[in-house]
Amino acid sequence: MNICLLQPDLVWEDIGANLEMLDGMLSGVPEETDLILLPETFSTGFTMRAELFAEEEGRGKAHAWMQETSRRKKAFLAGSLITRVNDRIYNRLYWISPEGVRGHYDKRHLFRMGREDRYFFPGGHRKVFTCGEFRLMPQICYDIRFPVFSRNRRDYDILFYVANWPAPRHGIWEILLRARAIENQSYVLGVNRVGVDGEGVDHLGGTCVIDHLGNVTGMLGEESGLLNCTIDLEEIRDFRQKFPAWKDGDKFKLIG
């Protein structure tokens, strides 16, 4: 499976400018790419002016752009948008194929230190999507601190996080990503942004690919750019069979 992770310098609260900028970055995506990943709230930045920038479910400019981009690039596409559903607003990740929307995941753990819990409604269920033979579980930023929610139940091969992870806690980002990969015997992909947002929060990137052993196999620095990787499903399956730590896992009552 060929995956491309985009690490942009997002324009604060400017949907049109971000979509234009991302179009430019997408021109560098290899033709053989199967999946393209974008950061959290990629069309606006991590703004709490949710009422102003929320798109109606299935009808917004960024949502339409995602579908058109997936068709044009002939690849699956995932990233999160501020989305309104009736009287609720979600930080919603869309999973889109060239044929259209295949599903979504609503951020479960809202970042209270950034006031996200005041303006967004939490999701209630974990999701697992498919791309060919691969099973992928999406998570959004702060979700990474809650390992029980992302516990591999032998139902996914790749765990990925889309984020607006800030510079002051940048070192924690890589540590938690590696921990999630090791404990779940899964590849983990972390997609972050760079630049300073409208609240003055800096982001240092660190978009990366981590294998099922916790090894960092690819990482971007503090500049915007693309990170391409290829993941072998048989390699993951063989390791889980040879080292079946999952058989000794504790039984938890899990959500979703």
Residue 72 maps to which CATH number?
Answer: 3.60.110.10
In a domain, 253, yes or no: no
pLDDT in tens, 142-181: 999 999 999 999 999 999 999 999 999 999 999 999 999 9
In 3D space, the residue among 165, 115, 176 whose CA is nearest the CA of residue 141 turns out to be 165
In 3D space, the residue among 232, 219, 180 whose CA is nearest the CA of residue 5 turns out to be 219
Tell me, yes or no, if the pTM score tops 0.85.
Answer: yes
In a domain, 192, yes or no: yes
Supply the pLDDT for residue 254: 66
User: Which residue range forms the structural domain that includes residue 220?
Assistant: 2-247
In a domain, 198, yes or no: yes
Angstrom distance (rounded) from CA 214 to CA 187: 8
In a domain, 256, yes or no: no
Supply the pLDDT for residue 255: 67
Supply the pLDDT for residue 232: 96
Low pLDDT (below 70) residues in the chain: 254-255
In a domain, 252, yes or no: no
Supply the pLDDT for residue 197: 98
Work out how many domains the chain is built from and give that number.
Answer: 1
Angstrom distance (rounded) from CA 187 to CA 178: 9
In a domain, 76, yes or no: yes
In a domain, 153, yes or no: yes
One-letter identity of residue 179: A
Q: What amino acid positions are annotated as catalytic residues?
A: 40, 107, 141
> 88 φ, ψ to 5°?
-115, 145
Tally the residues of the chain.
Answer: 256
Supply the pLDDT for residue 119: 98
In a domain, 196, yes or no: yes
